[in-house]
Chains A and B, each alone.
Chain A
Amino acid sequence: MMEKELEALAARALERIEAAGSPEELEAVRIEVLGRKGALARFSKQLGTLAPEERARVGRILNSAKEQLERSFEARKEAFHRRALEQRLEAEWFDLTLPAPGPRPGSLHPVTQVQREIEEVFLSMGFTVLSGPEVETEYNNFDALNIPPDHPARDVQDTFWVEGGHLLRTHTSPVQVRGMERLGPPLRMIAPGRVFRNEEVDASHEHTFYQLEGMMVDREVSVAHLVYFMKQMLSAVFRREVSVRLRPGYFPFVEPGFELDIRCLICGGSGCAVCKYNGWLEQLGCGLVHPNVLRMSGIDPEEWMGFAFGLGLTRLVMMRYAIDDVRLFQSGDLRFLMQF
């Protein structure tokens, strides 16, 4: 009799659990059936009225019904949870193609970027990076580089003179002098920096531009070593193997001195407007350090040899990005600078 009632109750309760439309409705069913004062609880109180064997049997049925109801209740509850979560997550969709708040990324000056690349190449080959001041002594800028006062090379480098007998460095070469005097031989260094020439500004001339100077002084330093380092650097800068050629060039602080050209990267050497149809592009001046320069910095040229080079950083950057107006570098124009 009780057994029948119990089965009917369980069956009804199961139906109601399945039919519950909300977690609240489900909870109401749970309290009504499984709660402390629920239907099952009432049954278990009635168990005491049964004969012992009968009590044990019905008790087992009661427990199994309870377990079954609890399981389906939990399953149903879990389903509600899952659905609620799914609904919430679905509702949280939004349009990420809208712009992110906060400032747009900034950028580094193109000269900074190329300069850093070259610095990294040389650092990896054991060169140190040195800096020097923009205002230099006449001695460091000229005399110590084998350019005495009456030397014609002084004409070529139109100089800004400042009060106190000093000048705005016309090249980064004075940092060679500072490097030799500070570090002594053996020495491997580069020196990027801002240099000045007193000339009118137009699309291809600037009174302020950037160079990168380099020097190695050691017991054995040859033209072959110089070419090796120049090739390493230029291949890294242009991110491909470059062909270089040396031809005579005159710079008072080196002997012999060279102009170093690379095979035109645009036409591969067959001739184009960029290389003025000769297949080669002038890249830098270099040479073996003049013994006078070593001597003036207290290094014995009979014991030490060296090479030095000077690269037009501004020109290199213009070439890399096909920039046609040198004035843009100092313009502070974000329309230009934000492209890099």
Chain B
Amino acid sequence: MAIYKLHINGRSYQADVEPDTPLLWVLRDNFGLVGTKYSCGIGACGACTVHVNGQAMRSCTLPVAAVGTQKVITIEGLSANGDHPVQKAWDEVDVAQCGYCQSGQIMTAAAFLKSNPKPTADQIDNAMHGNICRCGAYHRIKEAVKLASTKA
């Protein structure tokens, strides 16, 4: 066990955990930030996606010891009032079915659009291909990413 100081959503947090604990479980179990979801734990689905220094990362395979002073943003901190262009597009297109995968989808899309604000349809497909939606809401996810790219 060791003490880790983390910068999350513009605040500092502290946890006494083992170094190999994935960031995902520190967020969920220690800090109650449960918007970041668990589904596979092996980096294969994207449900646990957060931003680390602006990059989309899978928190389920990122040990807390590797986070250091990097700035972490979770779905709870993506915007103050749920009004990030990607969140707004998700509402407008009415994307969610069960909704479980959606915070990971949104975090993936938000980081992607930051690096590529005006993507082509193929680029959207490529960027979102790693995120599974078991409900099959892919058409609307695509549409919402496209819509968000016109808003930002």
User: Are A and B co-members of a single complex?
Assistant: no
